[in-house]
C-alpha cells in the first residue's frame, strides 16, 4: 500500500484538499484502526488512546498526532490529512516525520522482521507562500527536513519531491495564480465566488459595513482595586481580521448554519467537480499527489 502523510497548516487546507481529492477518485475512509496496515494501525491506536494519559497535561492530549481526515482510492492508496500547524509547530512535525521513518523502516523488505512488507510512505508539505514567496517557502521546508533527517535535503521548486531512505518528500505552496506570494484563500475564494458573485459581493459589503476594528479587543472579566468583578476590553487584539476568511463564513452560513469555515468548504456547493477539474492550481495539486503516490 502507498501511504501519504499530508502536512497542512490548518483545517481550511485539509477541507480544500478533501474536496480536491474527491474529484480524483478518492473516498472517505471507513477503515477501523485495526484495519490500517501495520505498524500504522498500532501507531494510530496509541495516539488515539494515549500512553499514561492520566499523567499528561490537557495541552499535550490535544496535540496527539492524529489526522483530521483519511481518504482511500482502491485498495492500494491511503492519504492521511493532518492540520498540524504552521511555523510554530515544527516540533510536532519533527516528531511525526521521525515516527514515519520508524514505521517505514519496519515495512522495508530488507528489515530483520518486516511488517506489511512493500508498503511505501511519503510526506507532503502544503504551506502558504504568504509574503515570503514560493521559493523561500520551499527552501524553508528543505531546511526543516534537513534538520529532522540529518541529511542535506534539496527541493527544487513548487511541486517538487526528493527521496530519502525510501520515503518521498514533496512540497506545494499555495499562492495567487501566476504570482509568487499569497495563501490558500487566493485560490479558494475565486473558485467559490465563480457563479456566486452576488452572494460573495453582498457578504463583503456586509463585512465592510459592520466590521469595527476596536471590537477585535476581546472582553474580559477582572477584579478591580476594590475586589469587584468588572468587564473591560483587553488592550491587545484577540484575533486578526481577515476579510477573505470572513467572507467564507458569512456565505457558508446560507448552506451550513452554525458551521465552521472548514465545514462550509468541505460541504457547500460553492465548490464543484467541474470547477476543481478546470482550475490550474487544483490540477497542479492533484499532479503532486499522483507523483507522491506513484
Question: Among 181, 146, 178, which residue's Cα sits nearest to residue 162?
Answer: 146
Which grid cell sits at 123?
510526506
Averaged pLDDT, 63-77: 92
Is residue 185 within 8 Å of residue 204, measured between CB atoms?
no
Q: What does pTM read for this prediction?
A: 0.90
Alpha helices (H) in the chain, listed in sequence order = 11-22, 40-49, 58-62, 90-107, 134-149, 184-193, 197-210, 243-252, 261-267, 273-278, 280-293
Is-contact 3 78, C-beta < 8 A? yes
Whether 135 shows a pLDDT value over 60: the answer reads: yes
Q: What is the pLDDT of residues 107-123, one digit of tens each?
A: 655 544 445 557 999 99
Quickly tell me which residue has 497548516 as its cell: 9
Give the Cα-Cα-Cα angle 285, 288, 291 (nearest 5 degrees). Answer: 155
User: Which residue, among 256, 185, 171, has the nearest Cα to 10 in the 3D structure?
Assistant: 185
40-62 tens-digit pLDDT: 999 999 888 865 555 556 555 55
**What is the C-alpha to C-alpha distance for residues 81 and 116, in angstroms, rounded to an integer?**
21
* pLDDT (average), residues 192-197: 98
pLDDT of residue 85 exceeding 70: yes
Q: What nine digits make up the cell of 78?
A: 491511503
Q: Which three cell numbers stand for residue 34?
A: 485495526
95 within 8 A of 20, measured Cβ to Cβ = no
Distance CA 201, CA 268 (A): 17
CB 21 within 8 A of CB 139: no
Instruction: Kindly report the average pLDDT of the chain as a whole number.
Output: 91
> Strand 167-174 relative to strand 120-128: parallel, antiparallel, unpaired?
parallel
DSSP-derived letter for residue 108 is S
What is the pLDDT, as a whole number, of residue 58?
Answer: 55
List of residues 6+ apart from 152 with CB closer than 8 A: 146
What's the CA gap between 194 and 271, in Å, rounded? Answer: 9
Query: How does pLDDT run across 257-288, given as a tens digit for each residue?
Result: 999 999 999 999 999 999 999 999 999 999 99
Which cell numbers in the block locate residue 222? 477582572
Q: How far apart are CA 161 and CA 170, in angstroms?
A: 4
For the chain, the first-to-last Cα distance in angstroms comes to: 11
Q: How far is the CA of 109 from the CAs of 115, 118, 224, in angstroms?
A: 8, 6, 68
State the cell numbers at 210: 459592520
**Cis previous bond, 39, omega within 30:** yes
Contact assessment for residue 247 and residue 207, using Cβ atoms and an 8 Å cutoff: yes
Residue 33 and residue 142 in contact, taking contact as beta carbons nearer than 8 Å:
no
Amino acid at each position: 500500500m502507498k501511504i501519504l502523510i499530508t502536512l497542512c497548516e490548518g483545517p481550511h487546507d485539509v477541507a480544500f484538499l478533501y474536496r480536491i481529492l474527491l474529484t480524483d477518485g478518492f473516498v472517505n475512509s471507513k477503515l477501523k484502526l485495526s484495519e490500517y496496515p501495520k505498524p500504522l494501525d498500532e501507531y494510530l491506536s496509541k495516539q488515539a488512546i494515549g500512553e499514561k494519559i492520566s499523567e499528561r497535561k490537557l495541552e499535550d492530549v490535544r496535540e496527539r498526532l492524529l489526522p483530521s481526515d483519511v481518504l482511500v482510492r482502491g485498495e492500494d492508496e491511503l492519504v492521511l490529512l493532518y492540520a498540524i500547524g504552521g511555523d510554530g509547530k515544527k516540533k510536532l512535525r519533527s516528531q511525526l516525520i521521525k515516527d514515519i521513518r520508524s514505521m517505514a523502516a519496519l515495512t522495508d523488505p530488507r528489515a530483520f522482521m518486516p511488517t506489511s512488507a512493500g508498503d511505501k510512505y511519503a510526506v507532503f508539505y502544503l504551506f502558504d507562500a504568504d509574503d515570503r514567496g514560493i521559493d523561500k517557502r520551499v527552501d524553508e521546508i528543505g531546511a526543516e527536513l534537513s534538520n529532522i533527517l540529518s541529511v542535506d535535503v534539496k527541493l527544487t521548486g513548487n511541486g517538487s519531491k526528493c527521496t530519502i531512505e525510501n520515503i518521498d518528500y514533496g512540497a506545494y505552496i499555495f499562492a495567487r495564480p501566476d504570482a509568487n506570494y499569497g495563501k490558500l484563500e487566493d485560490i479558494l475564494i475565486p473558485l467559490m465566488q465563480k457563479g456566486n458573485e452576488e452572494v460573495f459581493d453582498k457578504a463583503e459589503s456586509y463585512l465592510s459595513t459592520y466590521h469595527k476594528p476596536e471590537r477585535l479587543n476581546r472582553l474580559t472579566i477582572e477584579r478591580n482595586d476594590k475586589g469587584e468583578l468588572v468587564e473591560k476590553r483587553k488592550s491587545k487584539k484577540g484575533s486578526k481580521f481577515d476579510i477573505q476568511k470572513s467572507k467564507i463564513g458569512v456565505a457558508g452560513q446560507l448552506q451550513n448554519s452554525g458551521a465552521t469555515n472548514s465545514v462550509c468548504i468541505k460541504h457547500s456547493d460553492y465548490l464543484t467537480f467541474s470547477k476543481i477539474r478546470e482550475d490550474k492550481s487544483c490540477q497542479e495539486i492533484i499532479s503532486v499527489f499522483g507523483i507522491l503516490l506513484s
